[in-house]
């Protein structure tokens, strides 16, 4: 379970420290509390909020749950799935199937025919033991909706690209500062030499005048 301010949701570990959940679960939080089914807790920093998809990544202080495996398997209507969430106190496993597939540009990837509630947001959708998506919405009729593993992978890749970009920017900034420092030192040396030559000429001129 992920607790952020007064709200709760669900998430899952994709590595020893990285957690994926729905963006709206942790939006407005810098840090969240992670609680597993045995009551063990840790804290996690919100790393990235995807501006397009309702997906977020967090970096946890420690691992308190199993690490899952993402699968990019193509989902079809009728695929038998399971979801794990925390709509009540503790994890709940529910079974159902995919009832509708949406086009890639849609807000959701699929619709689920499975019981669930708002605490399921951010929880994993399993197919044959692997995570093929996450739950991120529910309509007024009780239907759940989700985003597939491709959307999750796109978000993870976006985080990596931004991290590399920030690193390169920092390197360029440092190199720029170094170049400016070198240029400044060169200018100071030139200025010093100019002043030295100017003073020497002035002294020579003074000697000529005195003679």
- Residue 16 pLDDT greater than 60, yes or no: yes
6 pLDDT tier (thresholds 50, 70, 90): confident
Q: Which residues contact 125 (CB under 8 A, 6 or more apart)?
A: 81, 82, 83, 112, 131, 132, 133, 134, 135, 146
pLDDT given at position 44: 95
How far apart are the C-alpha atoms of 128 and 73, rounded to whole Å? 10
- The confidence score (pLDDT) of residue 183 equals 65
Q: Is residue 118 part of a domain?
A: yes
- The number of folded domains in the chain is 2
Let me know if residue 75 belongs to a domain.
no
* Same domain for 84 and 22: no
pLDDT value for 60: 94
Question: Looking at the chain, which runs of residues are DSSP E strands?
Answer: 2-4, 7-9, 11-13, 18-21, 31-35, 41-49, 56-60, 80-88, 90-101, 110-113, 124-127, 130-138, 144-148
Judge whether 102 lies within some domain: yes
Exposure letters 177-208 (e unless 16+ CB within 10 A, then b): eeeeeeeeeeeeeeeeeeeeeeeeeeeeeeee
Answer whether residue 33 is part of any domain: yes
- By annotation, the residues acting in catalysis are 24, 54, 121
Question: What's the chain's average pLDDT?
Answer: 83
Read off φ and ψ for residue 72, nearest 5 degrees.
-95, 20
Q: Provide the phi-psi class of 39: left if phi over 0, else alpha when psi is between -120 and 50, else beta.
A: left
Residue 24's domain comprises: 2-60
pLDDT digits (tens, 9 = 90+) for 159-191: 766 554 444 444 445 555 556 566 667 666 766
The pLDDT, as a whole number, for residue 165 is 46
Percent of the chain with pLDDT over 90: 58
- Closest to 89 measured CA to CA, from 177, 205, 3: 3
Whether 90 and 144 map to the same domain: the answer is: yes
55 and 91 in one domain? Answer: no
Q: What is the pLDDT of residue 210?
A: 32
Statement to judge: residues 89 and 146 lie in one domain: yes
Cα–Cα distance measured from residue 71 to residue 54, given in angstroms and rounded to the nearest whole number: 19
On whether both 55 and 86 belong to a single domain, the answer is no
Express each pLDDT in 117-149 by its tens digit: 888 999 999 999 999 999 999 998 889 999 999
Label residue 114 by pLDDT band (50, 70, 90): very high
pLDDT tens per residue across span 32-71? 999 987 888 999 999 999 999 999 999 999 888 899 999 9
The label of the residue with tokens 């159902």 reads: 96
In a domain, 163, yes or no: no
CB 12 within 8 A of CB 71: no
Residues 13 and 52 in one domain: yes
Q: What is this structure's pTM?
A: 0.75
| Residue 196 is assigned to a structural domain of this protein | no
Whether residue 112 lies inside any domain: the answer is: yes
How many residues belong to the chain? 211
- Read off the CATH number of the domain in which 9 is found: 2.40.10.10
Strand locations in 24-171 (E): 31-35, 41-49, 56-60, 80-88, 90-101, 110-113, 124-127, 130-138, 144-148
Residue 37 included in any domain = yes
Residue 83 confidence (pLDDT): 96
User: Binning pLDDT at 50, 70 and 90, where does residue 21 land?
Assistant: very high
Determine the pLDDT at residue 169. Answer: 43
Residues 84 and 149 in one domain: yes
């Amino acid at each position: 379970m992920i607790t952020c301010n007064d709200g709760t949701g669900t998430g899952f570990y994709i590595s020893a420290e990285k957690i994926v959940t729905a963006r709206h679960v942790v939006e407005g939080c810098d840090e969240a509390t992670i609680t597993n089914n045995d009551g063990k807790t840790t804290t996690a920093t919100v790393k990235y909020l995807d501006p397009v998809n309702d997906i977020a990544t967090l970096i946890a202080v420690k691992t308190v749950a199993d690490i899952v495996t993402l699968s990019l398997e193509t989902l079809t209507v009728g695929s038998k799935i399971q979801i794990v969430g925390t709509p009540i106190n503790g994890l709940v496993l529910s079974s159902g199937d995919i009832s509708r597939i949406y086009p890639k540009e849609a807000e959701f990837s699929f619709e689920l025919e499975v019981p669930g509630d708002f605490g399921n947001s951010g929880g994993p959708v399993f197919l044959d033991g692997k995570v093929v998506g996450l739950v991120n919405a529910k309509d007024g009729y009780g239907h759940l909706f989700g985003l597939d593993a491709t959307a999750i992978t796109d978000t993870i890749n976006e985080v990596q690209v931004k991290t590399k970009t920030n690193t390169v920017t920092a390197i360029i900034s440092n190199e720029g500062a170094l170049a400016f420092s070198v240029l400044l030192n060169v200018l100071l040396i030139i200025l010093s030499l100019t002043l030295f030559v100017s003073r020497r000429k002035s002294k020579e001129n003074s000697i000529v005048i005195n003679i």
